[in-house]
Every structure is written in C-alpha cells, then in structure tokens.
Amino acid sequence: GASIELEHLSKSYPGNPSPAVDDVSMEIRPGETVVLVGPSGCGKSTTLKMINRLIEPTSGRIRIDDEDVTRIDPVRLRRKVGYAIQSSGLFPHMTVAENIALVPKMVGWSKARVRGRVEEMLDLVGLDPGEFHGRYPRQLSGGQQQRVGVARALAADPPVLLMDEPFGAVDPVTRDHLQDELLRLQHELHKTIVFVTHDFDEAIKLGDRIAVLRERSRVAQFDTPEAILTNP
Ligand code: ADP
Ligand code: ADP
C-alpha cells in the first residue's frame, strides 16, 4: 500500500458557479480502505478522479507516498493507481483477456508474464480463465463484467486502488458476493483503497475508515465505522 494525501483540494468546473469540491484535506494511510460516502452529486467521483489525474484540481495538491502526482509520469501513475468504475469501463471491442492485459502491456511486461497475469487475475475474481478469457464484455453478465473491471484494475499490481461505485450496477445478491470478495482481497493484497459509494451500509461494511461527505465534498466526519455508528 501507499499513503495518499489530499491537501486543500478544490475543483470548479467551467460554467458551474459553485465548486464541485471545496477545500478538502485528508490523509489516507498505507493499506487502509477509506470509503467516501455521500449523496449523489456531492463531488465523490470528482475527488477520486483527481487522485489519478483524470481531472486536474483547480487548486490544492495530491501526494502519493509523499510524491506530488503532477510529477509522476502518466505510465508510472497507471502502474501505481488502479481504477474500477460502476459501468465496469471495459472496452467492448476487446476480449476479457485483452482488457485485463491493457496496463501490464502499457508498462512493458513481457507477453508470457502478461498471459500468466491475466489467468491469475481471472482466478482471483472467481472467473474460470479457460471459459472467460476469450469472451467479449457483451457476453458476460453484469456481475461478471464488474469482476473483470476489478481484475483489470488490479492487473499491474498497483499499490493504490480507486473504486467508484464498482458494485452499483449489479443485483443485491451479486453485490453482496462481490463485497465479500473485496473484503477478502483487502486482507490478501494490502492495497490502499479509496472506495466511493452513496450506500451507507456498503461504507460501513467495507471501510476501515469512512469519510462522510456533504455538498462540495466537505468532510462532515472521518472515522472508523464503529465510531460513526456510535456517534452519528
Ligand atoms: P458524485 O460522484 O458525488 O455523484 P460528481 O463528482 O460526479 O459527484 O459531481 C459533483 C458536482 O460536479 C455535481 O454538481 C456535478 O453536476 C458537477 N459535475 C461533474 N462533472 C462535471 C463536468 N464535467 N462539468 C460540469 N459539472 C460537472
Ligand atoms: P447474473 O446473475 O450475474 O446477472 P446472467 O443471468 O446475466 O448472470 O447470466 C448467467 C450466465 O449466462 C452467466 O454465466 C453468463 O456468463 C452467461 N451469459 C449471459 N449473457 C450471455 C451472452 N450474451 N453470451 C454468452 N453467455 C452469456
């Protein structure tokens, strides 16, 4: 895991009078899972996307392991930070294997190493490699697509994993199952995870600490689930 520091982070979108994120500061420790929970539109996705530089902050700073993210070149940043999103974000014209291989190839892994890694990742998320590696995303159920999305995010073994409502699009039973798998992965892989959801129960289940966000991502509470449940 790696540490992540958000320092006085703000983001205003052009043409939008009020900022999406307003002066947010937060320290995330190596290996912990922090869940950002808050209502739709409060700036959770914007905050997450600034961490992997899909969006540039208007002001403020982000450091991963004490290194300013603006100083990390794009390929190294992709290796450091995995990203999984609600819609799974899989490329429809690529097979499952090609989707998972994307970042490892980009960072220059050998073909043999990439091939082994794809199998390993499919096993990890509970999909039989022989059955699934050659399929296209449209040939998978919603839950299976989410699994492949998580496998892709983990493929280059990044110390940081960002997850934006990754289980939002699946039925409750599958979601429960994927949450349990994530809990298992947390213990096995020791990633630093920032997980975004609007579902308080999901936050309580998955977070080592929970940041309860109000509008503009202002942090109302930042504490363990136990502390938040006893002192709401
Ligand atoms: P959340 O993830 O909590 O639902 P978002 O970060 O997606 O919130 O959005 C925060 C605010 O910023 C919302 O008011 C949203 O409408 C606005 N917003 C998000 N993306 C853009 C954009 N590309 N351009 C303008 N406004 C945006
Ligand atoms: P879930 O309960 O996860 O939503 P589905 O009912 O969508 O699952 O799918 C059940 C099974 O059918 C899965 O093993 C999935 O791989 C397979 N499947 C679903 N859609 C297709 C498709 N278009 N082509 C091939 N197999 C499919």
- Residues 10-66: pLDDT tens digits? 999 999 889 999 999 999 999 999 999 999 999 999 999 999 999 999 999 999 999
**Looking at ligand 1, which residue's alpha carbon is closest to its atom 16?**
41
Per-residue confidence (pLDDT) for residue 59, from 0 to 100: 97
Q: Within 13 Å, how many C-alpha atoms sit on residue 144's CB side?
A: 14
Residue with the nearest Cα to atom 21 of ligand 1?
A: 13
Q: ipTM score here?
A: 0.70
Is residue 25 classed as helix, strand or coil in its secondary structure?
strand
- Measured CA to CA, the distance from residue 15 to residue 57 in angstroms comes to 15
CA pair distance 225, 222, nearest whole angstrom? 9
User: Which tokens go with 142?
Assistant: 């919603």
Residue type, 3: S
Best residue among 122, 141, 146, 170 to mutate for probing ligand 2's pocket (most ligand atoms within 8 Å of CB) is: 141
Judged by DSSP in three states, 90 sits in: coil
Q: Is 141 in the pocket of ligand 2 (CB under 6 A)?
A: yes
Q: What is the pLDDT of residue 170?
A: 78
The CA 39 to ligand 1 mean position distance, Å, reads 12
Q: 96: burial class by Cβ within 10 Å (0-12, 13-18, 19+)? A: buried
C-alpha 114 to ligand 1 mean position (Å): 36
Please tell me the predicted confidence (pLDDT) of residue 142.
85
pLDDT at position 175: 84
Q: Which residue, by CA, sits nearest to atom 12 of ligand 1?
A: 20
Pocket flag, ligand 2, residue 174 (CB < 6 Å): yes
What CA–CA distance (Å, rounded) separates 163 from 195? 5
Question: Does the pLDDT at position 193 exceed 90?
Answer: yes
Check pocket membership of 177 for ligand 2, CB cut-off 6 A.
no
Percent of the chain with pLDDT over 90: 77
- The answer to whether the CB of 122 falls within 8 A of the CB of 132 is yes
The chain-wide mean pLDDT, for the chain, equals 93
CB of 216 within 6 A of ligand 1: the answer is: no
Q: Cβ(86) to ligand 1 under 6 A?
A: no
Q: What ligand 2 atom has the least distance to the C-alpha of 141?
A: 7
For residue 140 and ligand 2, the question of a CB distance below 6 A is answered with: yes
Model pTM? 0.86
What atom of ligand 1 comes closest to residue 164's alpha carbon? Answer: 2
Q: Per-residue pLDDT for 87 more than 80? A: no
Tens digit of each residue's pLDDT (9 = 90 or more) over 111-162: 999 999 999 999 988 899 999 999 999 999 888 998 899 899 999 999 999 9
CA of 170 to the centre of ligand 2 (A): 13
Ligand approaching nearest to the C-alpha of 46: 1
44 close to 38: Cβ distance less than 8 angstroms: yes
Q: How far apart are CA 232 and CA 157, in angstroms?
A: 36
Alpha-carbon dihedral angle through residues 153, 158, 160, 163, given to the nearest 10 degrees: 0
For residue 151, what are its two tokens? 């496998």
Closest ligand relative to 211 C-alpha: 1
Question: Which band of pLDDT confidence, cut at 50, 70 and 90, is reported for residue 88?
Answer: confident
Q: How confident is the model at residue 228 (pLDDT cuts 50, 70, 90)?
A: very high
